[in-house]
Amino acid sequence: MSSLVEERAPQTAGRAARLAMLDALGMPLLAILLAFVGGALIIWATSGDFGTVLAAYEGMISGAFIKTRGFSETLVATTPYIFLGLGLAIGFKAGLFNIGAEGQFYIGAISAVWAGIVFTGLPAILHLPIVMLAGALGGALWAGIPGFLKARTGAHEVITTMMMNYIAFRLTEFLVSVPLRDTLSSAVQTLRVSPNAELWSLWQIPQRLSDRLNALAVAIFFAALALALARWFVARGDMATRLTLSRRRVVVGGTGLAVGALAFFGLPALTQVWWPFSDQYDRLHIGIVIALAAAAAVWWLMYKTTLGFEMRTVGANPSAARYAGINISRNILITMALSGALAGIAGTIEVLGVSICRCLPLFFSSGYGFDSIALALLAKNNPIGIVGGAFLFGAMRNGADLMELNSGVSKYVISLIQGLVLLFVAAPSMVRYLLRMRAARKIEEEAPLTRGWG
Amino acid sequence: MRTKIFVCVALLVVVALALGACAAPTAAPAAKKKVGLVTDVGGVNDKSFNQSAWEGTQKAAKEFGFDTKFIESKQPTDYEKNIDQFATEKYDVIITVGFLMGDATAAKAKQYPNIKFAIIDNAYFPTKGVAYCDDTKKDCYVDGGLTNVTSLMFQEDQVGFLAGVLAGGMTKTGTVCTVSGMEIPPVVRFVVGFQNGAKWIKSDAKALNVYIPSFTDPAKGKETGQSMISQGCDVVFGVGGNTGNGGLLAAKEKGLMAIGVDVDQYLTYPEVKDALISSAAKNVDIAVYNYLKSVSDGSSKAGVFTANLQNGGVGLAPFHDWDSKIPQAVKDKIKAASDGLKSGSIQTGYKP
């Protein structure tokens, strides 16, 4: 039901699926390439020197991947993009054009900082989940308000989420500069969160893991991951028929336990002996791992659960969904809250993992939330596509500095290239015209990006 | 059709790779010293102090033969990354603009002890609980580990005081006001000096002030200016980058008087020149230039260098079009205040 493919005659289904795949994967890739070519033309036109184009792209690639800590910084920038892109994609899939991600990011960040400051003396195994939860709740609440307004009164979420952005900015400014302010610091910023609420940088891991409780937290994370994987594995066709239900439970539980135990006893010892990250100025942190796990979780939610199915149905055709007995209001509310929660976690991670002060400074104007709208569209709301797109956006954002430094090309060219990507993605017929391609037959389920009032 | 797509994709990939791979090595081994400037979020065209710092850097580069580049910070978490960008590109000198970059600059200066750092508007004092220089140290620049850092400071309270004298002398309503940016020491020095200057010349003068927690919000600045004008203020002093500029604009639109900040805003912000009676200038460009000069001749030192009225590092900008409209009595008072501040017989009233 996820596409109409399954309802076609079997012999054409394979071909149609391949074409659909090509359309889903190829189009964004072509759009990206064309955007870079367009960017090159613009740099060429404005500088009048093709050497500048080469220097610019060379600088961007070197800054994003090659130079000292370049690749790490790219992953650091990728992490919030993944969360924000996922959050927005959930909304878009359900037909909700949430453009308030930037505000939800702020509220998530400030909620997490608050939770990081007021609770003290908790071990990381409790404190980290608490701050993440606080960030998620903050974002969920902030997006939930427009969701409630839409469900209850029909107020259009584009307007309300945009308004909520400004309230979020001003509220955060107030909280940072008055109640939570660190008066010792040179900058206007909040107090530092408790060390146990910080997200671990990779170079800290051997030292962090030497604490038994931290090792336990990591073990639980890996055990959960293994459980999910094992559960998916045994539910596949042949395994499901070969094993009885109780056998499968044993396999799943056993795998989880074994991986957890291995992680608990093995990882601390292993990292003491061998750990490739020793540069303590490297800002790469465990957020990227959490982000990848979140992408998998969102994929599962969207495509393997009833809730995800309902969301997609509401997005594809609300009237049909209502006719099928799906509670639209409830769905809008849940979708918005989830979308906001992911944005809130992005803010949490940026503050607890990246900012050196492990605090929220004033002027935390990230722009991540707005870029991510383009990102979600580029990825066609597909969680895997979002991971790839986030990496691209992160690399561009990070490479931009060295590009500007080496070639003198303003780093705002990056926004221009992102804009071109969006343009080409939004208008696939333009790409086809430029490349003289024929259109694949339209067989995809597509959610309208936004609907009218009511 | 699929082959066609494949050909297209392949071609594009080739082009993209060629772009990346064939790029010529960008710089020949340069004997020139490399100087990098990291701006605050205001950016290098802020008509105010980031711009002034960059102008000073360029002037010095021309005279002493430096290679210079700047990076604009988008947000505070970029400060460290941007400094690092220069450091890993083997720059010799890194200038950071603004009080807000204090912590980031200190952290990076410790990480890269062989690079010279200069920071504008922030001085380091041993402070309890501050990791890079706590209160067990005597002097951050000597035994606190910041031996490669020069702080370029300004006595904004002095020039603020003179601006206050001018405002107090020119006001008809007896109320003057400041549209201020964030409440950080350099801004507070301007504001406190200004208020005391106005009261020094006119003891019953009323001085209004609002701090707006941003340097990049002219709309809010204008709104604040309008609200203070409606409370009787007829000389608006804008202290806060672009936010302050909004205050100047509010005064200009009402046909009142305005005083600019940091640079001679008659030149950098000509849209409000009709209202601009003067500007409280801090010569960031000269301070940066002098610092780079000392780098060039090898005499640069770590520590705090303060620009003040005595050494000409701060001062009121020319009155320009208002020169004929400002009474001689007021000009005399400004002269008297300036002399008094220099000799120490007048205090600005600012206490750190």
Contacts of residue A260, defined as CB under 8 A and 6 or more positions apart, other chains included, come to A219, A220, A222, A223, A226
Rounded to 5 degrees, φ, ψ at B212 are -110, 125
pLDDT tens for chain A, residues 1 to 454: 444 444 444 555 667 777 666 667 778 888 899 999 999 999 999 988 889 999 999 999 999 999 888 899 999 999 999 999 999 999 999 999 999 999 999 999 999 999 999 998 888 889 999 999 999 999 999 999 999 999 999 899 999 999 999 999 999 988 988 888 887 776 678 888 998 899 999 998 998 898 888 999 899 999 999 998 888 888 776 766 777 888 888 888 999 999 999 999 999 889 888 888 888 888 899 999 999 999 999 999 999 899 999 999 999 998 999 999 999 999 999 999 999 999 999 999 998 988 777 888 876 766 888 889 889 988 888 999 999 999 999 999 999 888 988 888 888 898 899 889 888 888 877 777 877 776 655 545 555 555 544 4
Whether B152 and B119 have beta carbons less than 8 Å apart is answered as yes
Which tokens hold the place of B288? Answer: 């940066």
Q: Domain map of chain A by residue range?
A: 1-48+429-445, 57-119+130-194+282-347+358-411, 202-281
For A53, which residue in chain B has the nearest alpha carbon? Answer: B19
Q: Could you please report the per-residue DSSP string of A94-154?
A: TT-----HHHHHHHHHHHHHHHHHH--S--HHHHHHHHHHHHHHHHHHHHHHHHHHHHHH-
* C-beta atoms of A67 and B214 within 8 A: no
Which positions in chain B touch A31 (Cβ < 8 Å)? none
Q: Is A58 near chain B, with CB under 8 Å? A: yes
- Residues 33..72 of B with a Cβ closer than 8 Å to A: which? 41, 69, 71-72
Which tokens hold the place of B81? Answer: 């990354």
Å between B169 CA and nearest CA of chain A:
35
Write the DSSP symbol of residue B35: E
Q: Is A34 near chain B, with CB under 8 Å? A: yes
Domain B33-154 has CATH 1.10.10.10: no
For A33, which residue in chain B has the nearest alpha carbon? Answer: B12
Which positions in chain B touch A26 (Cβ < 8 Å)? 5, 9
Which among B5, B20, B81 has CB closest to A26?
A: B5
CA distance linking residue A283 with residue B107, whole number of Å: 14
Please tell me the predicted confidence (pLDDT) of residue A151.
92
Q: Is A47 near chain B, with CB under 8 Å? A: no
Which positions in chain A touch B41 (Cβ < 8 Å)? 363, 365
Q: What is the pTM of this model?
A: 0.80
Contacts of residue A207, defined as CB under 8 A and 6 or more positions apart, other chains included, come to none
Q: Is B329 near chain A, with CB under 8 Å? A: no
Rounded to 5 degrees, φ, ψ at A100 are -100, 20
For B186, which residue in chain A has the nearest alpha carbon? Answer: A186
Which positions in chain B touch A350 (Cβ < 8 Å)? 77
Fold of A57-119+130-194+282-347+358-411: ABC transporter involved in vitamin B12 uptake, BtuC (1.10.3470)
For A358, which residue in chain B has the nearest alpha carbon? Answer: B77
* C-beta atoms of A365 and B75 within 8 A: yes
A344: region left, alpha or beta (phi > 0 left; psi from -120 to 50 alpha)? alpha
- Residues 112..151 of B with a Cβ closer than 8 Å to A: which? 122, 127-130
Q: B143-175 burial, b if ≥16 CB within 10 A, otherwise e?
A: ebbbebbbbbbbbbbbbbbbbbbbbbbbbeeeb
Where are the extended beta strands (E) located within B263-308? 276-282, 303-307
Return the SS3 of B231.
coil
Write the pLDDT tens digit of every residue in A253-274. Answer: 999 999 999 999 999 889 888 8
CA distance linking residue A44 with residue A395, whole number of Å: 22
- Residues 210..239 of B with a Cβ closer than 8 Å to A: which? 213-214, 216
Å between B56 CA and nearest CA of chain A:
19
A48 CB burial (10 A radius; 0-12, 13-18, 19+)? exposed
Residues B94/B100/B104/B105 CA torsion (nearest 10 deg): 30
Å between A199 CA and nearest CA of chain B:
15
Which among A173, A354, A402 has CB closest to B77?
A: A354
Fold of B156-281+319-343: Rossmann fold (3.40.50)
Å between B101 CA and nearest CA of chain A:
7
Sign of CA dihedral A120, A123, A126, A131: positive
Write the pLDDT tens digit of every residue in A399-453. Answer: 988 898 888 888 889 889 988 988 888 887 777 787 777 665 554 555 555 554 4
CA distance linking residue A336 with residue A155, whole number of Å: 14
- Residues 173..212 of B with a Cβ closer than 8 Å to A: which? 182-184
Which among A36, A63, A68 has CB closest to B16?
A: A36
In chain B, residues under CATH classification 3.40.50.2300 are 33-154, 156-281+319-343
Number of Cβ within 10 Å of residue A7's Cβ equals 8
Which positions in chain A touch B81 (Cβ < 8 Å)? 73, 283, 401
Whether A24 and A388 have beta carbons less than 8 Å apart is answered as no
Q: Edge-to-edge, what's the strand order for the sheet holding B116-120?
A: B66-72, B33-39, B93-97, B116-120, B149-154, B303-307
Å between A365 CA and nearest CA of chain B:
6
- For chain B, residues with pLDDT lower than 50 are 1, 13-14, 16-30
